[in-house]
Structure 1
């Protein structure tokens, strides 16, 4: 019996339990997936509790994707490169951190718009936000030879930190990004702005966006964020947050159980 969980704050809106229940049914494995809200002061104690209670692993969401690292025995792959963890495996009393955000995002992008990654040389990407999810996504997209992957964030230094780790990238202010919005072929909103119950909120207007650009929001509740509604009205192609959620969850499930998920039930 696998015991899995999601820790963070907030977590009550998460669809992860029903997604992983589908995965258990598809693989004929037995297991549970719980939502565990955690405050800052509880983090270390809750991790030790999960370990002591025999959990096989857990996902990590805001605001702990970076903070969690100090409590882990090892971090590997993209998690190590970008210092951001969204998946933890507990094996032989050791906590190992992974990041499936980036791989999940690229898989969802390729499923929805397979043409986009087939020719990247002259394409530009704008990532809004510089948190753990933004780091994972930027790392994975950086494997492709895009013309640029630019970052904007409220805290400029965090944007610069990501930008310095990428091949061709600039850290921009919100105003600078607005002025050159027509340059971007893919705009990815990675912050929590616009998440329920604050559905009306939006960081950047898409006025001036390139026709047929892809607008992507990793928020999945609501499905149609204010950002995506704005994008649709301006003729953008849309990539919903739920798609990334499914793919990153499948990669996490494979880390925990060794079982690959090939078919998704949306």
Structure 2
């Protein structure tokens, strides 16, 4: 039996149990996914409990995606580069940290636009925000030869840190991003702006976006954010936050249920 879970604070509104129980049913796997509300002082204790109870693995959400690393034995490459973990597999008593955000985002993008990677060298991408989600998505996008992958953020210093670490192309203020939108083929809101209960907020105006641009929002509550409603009015293609949520969960499920993702991969 696969025992799976989610550590975080808060976790009560998470959609992860619904997604993973459907995946377990779809693949005819016996298992259960549970929510584990965790106070910061209980993080280490709860991780040890998961290991002792024979859990196959668990997801990690805010505010522990970075702090959990000190409790792990190994990190796969993307988690190491990002300094952030959202998926842990327990294998032979060892805890292996992964980050599936970037791969989940790329899969959601290609589900909407299967040919987006074709002629990548002619396409420009703008990331709005410079936090953990931006880092995960940028790390995956930079595996491809896009013309440019730029970042706009309220804090230029934080954006500079992202550029220094990953090698993004340019840094813009949010005002500059608003003015320069017409040059981008994909615009991604990686911030929490527009999330319930602040549904009326929007990270930037889309006044200058060109029709046909893919406008993406990783916020999934609400699914129709103000940002995406604005994009719809301007005849853009829409990529919803629920899509990334689903595909990063699918990638985590694959890690837990596929024996090829094991501790021996990371030894030596």
TM-score, structure 1 as length reference: 0.91
Residues 5-154 of structure 1 aligned to structure 2 (within 5 Å): 5-154=5-154
- 1:174 matched to which residue of 2? 174
Q: Does 1:185 align with 2:172?
A: no
Residues 201-220 of structure 1 aligned to structure 2 (within 5 Å): 201-220=201-220
Deviation string for 1:119-149 (max 9, x for gaps)? 2112111112222222111111001111111
Return the alpha-carbon distance in structure 2 between the equivalents of residues 207 and 79 of structure 1. 36
Count of residue pairs the alignment pairs up: 260
- Which runs of no fewer than 5 residues in structure 1 stay unpaired? 261-266
TM-score, structure 2 as length reference: 0.90
Return the alpha-carbon distance in structure 2 between the equivalents of residues 74 and 220 of structure 1. 30
Return the alpha-carbon distance in structure 2 between the equivalents of residues 155 and 32 of structure 1. 41
How much does 1:4 deviate? 0.8
Give the secondary structure class of the aligned counterpart of 1:127.
Answer: strand
Moved more, 214-223 or 65-74: 65-74
How much does 1:201 deviate? 2.0
- Which runs of no fewer than 5 residues in structure 2 stay unpaired? 261-268
Give the secondary structure class of the aligned counterpart of 1:117.
Answer: coil
Return the alpha-carbon distance in structure 2 between the equivalents of residues 196 and 35 of structure 1. 21
CA RMSD between the two structures: 1.8
Deviation string for 1:3-55 (max 9, x for gaps)? 11112233222211111111111221111111223333332332223223322
Report if aligned partners of 1:126, 1:150 keep a CA contact under 8 Å in 2. yes
- 1:228 matched to which residue of 2? 228
Return the alpha-carbon distance in structure 2 between the equivalents of residues 158 and 81 of structure 1. 16
Give the secondary structure class of the aligned counterpart of 2:137.
Answer: helix
> Structure 1 residues 37, 204: CA separation in 2 closer, same or farther (over 3 Å shift)?
farther
Moved more, 3-12 or 78-87: 3-12
